Amino acid sequence: MEKIEAVLKEERVFQPSEDFRQAARIRRLEDYEALYRESLQEPEKFWSRVASELHWFKPWDKVLEWNPPNAKWFIGGQLNLSYNCLDRHLATRGNKAAIIFEGEPGDSRILTYQQLHREVSKFANVLKGLGVRKGDRVTIYLPMIPEAAIAMLACVRIGAVHSVVFGGFSASALADRINDAQAKVLITADGGWRRGNVVPLKVNSDEALADAKSVEQVVVVRRTGHEVPMERGRDHWYHELMASASPDCPPEPMDAEDPLFILYTSGSTGKPKGVLHTTGGYSVYTYLTAQYIFDLKESDTYFCTADVGWITGHSYVVYGLLQNGATTLMYEGAPNTPDEGRIWSIIEKYSVSILYTAPTAIRAFMKWGEQWPLKYNLSSLRLLGSVGEPINPEAWFWYYKVIGKERCPIVDTWWQTETGGIMITTLPGVHPMKPGHAGKPFFGVQPEIVDTSGQPVNNPDEGGHLIIQKPWPSMLRTVWGDPERFERQYFSQYPGNYFTGDGARRDEDGYYLILGRVDDVLNVSGHRLGTMEVESALVSHPAVAEAAVVGRPDPIKGEGIVAFVTLKTGFSPSAELAQELKAHVVKAIGAIARPDEIRLTDALPKTRSGKIMRRLLRQVASGEEIKGDTSTLEDRGVVERLKSTPAQ
Ligand code: 6R9
């Protein structure tokens, strides 16, 4: 490991193989540079050209209108994303696999473009029959099964706005999201498979609906086959509704700026934000990024391990890939079921050529050992991708050598729920790779690194805040129901510029290295969680007086969660209580938010003005020496006492 760190300091650079480069869509640096220049200097020309590769019912009148923080793209144009994902391919790719599905128990299904088109059209008619109209919100709470993609595309086909909620979220998190969006219909399943267990999606849904009254109708997909309660008049089996649905459903022409979907993500307050994406810009940007960054070829089989409950699943399992007529593979379950070779067995079974996964997964693969991938034939792979958090060089080298056999380029793609698509990456046939560096801006993206006063940081390798200076097509348009929060959150620190919430550095070659969040957002196994969100879950427990949550480095998850908690009078610290609090957080948010450690303490370190000193808590949590100024602490003894509180 030390050796690898030393290697990193040498800033070793890896070239894409000559074979890869020769066959790549973009293979000359000059071409990237010319296109990049054009995309910034003549965005209208650049984006018009890209957009005209898609199908429009009515062409746009104007490419961009920018009144910070409000951007409008392809004004006046009308299109439908499901048309571009499905109908557009029927003549040339009707019998090509659109979705390859592998279930955890080993069942599999392949849906061709024809078949997917038919299923989506039928389900779109089902939704219409349930009273869903253009602009209505539909919440989708499903496992990673084809019906998740079908439901998303069916909403899009009729102009309903979907809000996919990750199946790992709890009933209460689901209820919050349904209520915020005021969804009319919920689409769920009897359950999903995870490590041989059933994820009780329908039971969670019923619990959520007790507190979420906007939902009038529920559609339930039969997946696991175990018995679930069905409420008469409200709950309907998917297969029963589909049996009589017509396969003829013309797509609704949507204005380019019509809402497409809402996706909730964590910010620095307790309440998740509903990030809103609109139709035209999101379609065009995910289409282009998928094509160039994954260097898509007609013969590729592409496998992204993300769940559709996250933005990666939206843009790079479903929409970006299907718009390009590609074959996308969905896997339902855990990577270690039935054993630690599952991902590699899927790659061998379907001759997967592109794999897109997260550093936290790569670190788990490393821990399980290279004997697992070595058992399988991975020679079909030609390109690897990483997303979700900074990839540490050790994981990068392992991925490069053990999985890619030093033959496959790696794209380390930086982006966010809010950006809709990949923003910073290398182009695989063009740019040399530097482990740990995401790379260069994609077309149309103008990043800058600034200090807290907004001045550009020009020294190579000096850190600062990462901002984006110009609008790009798939930029979020607002926070659902809270335009004021949209402006405050993203456009108030550096007026006119989008603030990412990340810190970054840029080297002399213009490569960006992402340093991680600079706000109170944790990145646990590539999932975003607000410290405040976990804190508010904790303080909703009757025993808790106050809670402060911090991250600490974790060898697999990237970041682990440590909660410092003070109790109300009458409650005393115990291991049982600590366990109960962990379970309480799981119930409030979901298993991804379970604190790794709870420290029940008598006081939190506060300044005289009452601010919790999180820096100190982070140092205590990671067992570091307490450094920096502690003179503003109200009670200097608190640090010593914190260090000696047992971690539970
Ligand atoms: C796509 C996605 C966004 C946050 C982002 C950043 C981190 C994502 C990264 C990365 C370093 C990468 N992040 N990709 N950090 N290198 N290649 O993950 O969206 O869930 O909204 O998270 O993830 O901190 O701000 P989202």
DSSP symbols for 340-366: TTHHHHHHHHHT--EEEE-HHHHHHHH
CB 183, CB 259: distance < 8 Å: no
Helices (H) and strands (E) in the chain, counts: 23, 32
- Whether the per-residue pLDDT at 615 is higher than 90: the answer is no
Q: How far is CA 233 from CA 139, 219, 328, 508, in A?
A: 18, 11, 36, 64
Q: Which domain holds residue 619?
A: 525-644
In a domain, 177, yes or no: yes
Amino acid at the residue 541 = H
What was the pLDDT predicted at 3? 39
Q: Write out the H or E segment, with its range, that includes residue 114.
A: helix 113-129
Whether 236 lines ligand 1, by a CB cut-off of 6 Å, is: no
What is the DSSP code string of 269-333? SSS-EEEEEEHHHHHHHHHHHHHHHTT--TT-EEEE---TTSHHHIIIIIIHHHHTT-EEEEE-S
Whether 312 lines ligand 1, by a CB cut-off of 6 Å, is: yes
What was the pLDDT predicted at 208? 98
- Whether the per-residue pLDDT at 5 is higher than 70: the answer is no
Q: What is the mean pLDDT of residues 382-405?
A: 96
Q: Is the peptide bond before 247 cis (omega within 30 degrees of 0)?
A: no
What whole-number percentage of the chain has pLDDT above 90?
89
525 is in an annotated binding site: yes
What does the alpha-carbon distance between residue 25 and residue 44 come to, in Å, rounded to a whole number? 22
What was the pLDDT predicted at 462? 85
What whole-number percentage of the chain has pLDDT above 70?
98
Q: Up-side HSE of residue 63: CA atoms within 13 Å toward CB? A: 17
- Whether the per-residue pLDDT at 269 is higher than 80: the answer is no
Which one, of 349, 336, 361, 352, lies nearest residue 104 by Cα?
Answer: 336
What is the atom index within ligand 1 of the atom nearest the CA of 516? 24
Q: What is the mean pLDDT of residues 18-26?
A: 96
In a domain, 335, yes or no: no
Q: What is the mean pLDDT of the chain?
A: 95
43 is in an annotated binding site: no
Which range has the worst mean pLDDT, 7-11, 278-282, 321-325, 584-588?
7-11
In a domain, 592, yes or no: yes
- Whether the per-residue pLDDT at 256 is higher than 70: the answer is yes
What was the pLDDT predicted at 202? 98
Q: Ligand 1 centroid vs 416 CA: distance in angstroms?
A: 5
What was the pLDDT predicted at 4? 39
Whether 559 lines ligand 1, by a CB cut-off of 6 Å, is: no
Residue whose CA is closest, atom 19 of ligand 1? 416
Residue whose CA is closest, atom 26 of ligand 1? 416
In a domain, 610, yes or no: yes
Which range has the worst mean pLDDT, 4-8, 201-205, 511-515?
4-8
What does the alpha-carbon distance between residue 177 and residue 590 come to, in Å, rounded to a whole number? 13
pLDDT tens readout for residues 97-153: 999 999 999 999 999 999 999 999 999 999 999 999 999 999 999 999 999 999 999
CATH code, domain with 633: 3.30.300.30
Q: What is the mean pLDDT of residues 202-207?
A: 98
pLDDT tens readout for residues 332-384: 999 999 999 999 999 999 999 999 999 999 999 999 999 999 999 999 999 99
Q: Ligand 1 centroid vs 502 CA: distance in angstroms?
A: 9
What domain count does the chain have? 2
Residues 6+ apart with CB under 8 A from 372: 339, 340, 341, 344, 365
What does the alpha-carbon distance between residue 550 and residue 545 come to, in Å, rounded to a whole number? 17
What was the pLDDT predicted at 8? 46
In a domain, 412, yes or no: no
Whether 311 lines ligand 1, by a CB cut-off of 6 Å, is: yes
25 is in an annotated binding site: no
What does the alpha-carbon distance between residue 389 and residue 523 come to, in Å, rounded to a whole number? 7
What is the CA 64 to chain-centroid distance, rounded?
26
Which one, of 320, 306, 310, lies nearest residue 265 by Cα?
Answer: 310
What does the alpha-carbon distance between residue 500 and residue 489 come to, in Å, rounded to a whole number? 9
Whether 503 lines ligand 1, by a CB cut-off of 6 Å, is: no
In a domain, 169, yes or no: yes
- Whether the per-residue pLDDT at 20 is higher than 80: the answer is yes
Residues 6+ apart with CB under 8 A from 644: none
Whether 388 lines ligand 1, by a CB cut-off of 6 Å, is: yes
197 is in an annotated binding site: yes
CB 141, CB 175: distance < 8 Å: no
Whether 412 lines ligand 1, by a CB cut-off of 6 Å, is: yes
What was the pLDDT predicted at 645? 86
What does the alpha-carbon distance between residue 454 and residue 430 come to, in Å, rounded to a whole number? 32
412 is in an annotated binding site: yes
Whether 419 lines ligand 1, by a CB cut-off of 6 Å, is: no
CATH code, domain with 136: 3.40.50.980
Whether 523 lines ligand 1, by a CB cut-off of 6 Å, is: yes
What does the alpha-carbon distance between residue 533 and residue 14 come to, in Å, rounded to a whole number? 40
Which one, of 132, 141, 129, lies nearest residue 159 by Cα?
Answer: 132
In a domain, 532, yes or no: yes
**What phi and psi, each to the nearest 5 degrees, are found at residue 209?**
-70, -20
Which range has the worst mean pLDDT, 460-464, 483-487, 628-632?
628-632
- How many other CB atoms are there within 10 angstroms of residue 634's CB atom? 15
539 is in an annotated binding site: yes
